[in-house]
Amino acid sequence: MANTITQWKPQVTVNGQTTQFKSYAEIKRNMSLLLDRSIVGGNVQAQVSVSRSKRGEWGEWFEVWQYNNKHKPVIINQGWM
């Protein structure tokens, strides 16, 4: 049984719109699609923000994802909120 304070569904923010996912694994599977969706007009820097809980930890963990120079999704910033 999940503790609602420490374990909640991960959320992704793309272009100011927040979407909830069932699991972090689902987010990672779809990260390329999410990054592609974040490219609007002339915005070359695709960026996706993820907020989630971490097993055994209290608080909210955030990650910011972008493509690297080889067009692979990587975390460029992360930490506790």
pLDDT on residue 5: 52
Decide if 50 is inside a domain.
Answer: yes
Q: What is the pTM of this model?
A: 0.81
Q: CB neighbours (10 Å) of residue 1? A: 4
Enclosing domain of residue 76: 11-80
Cα(64)–Cα(81) distance, rounded to whole angstroms? 12
Decide if 59 is inside a domain.
Answer: yes
User: What's the start-to-end Cα distance of the chain, in Å?
Assistant: 24
Structurally, how many domains does the chain consist of? 1
Q: What is the pLDDT of residues 44-73, one digit of tens each?
A: 678 999 999 877 777 889 999 999 999 899
Write down the mean pLDDT value for the chain: 86
pLDDT on residue 1: 42
Decide if 6 is inside a domain.
Answer: no
Decide if 40 is inside a domain.
Answer: yes
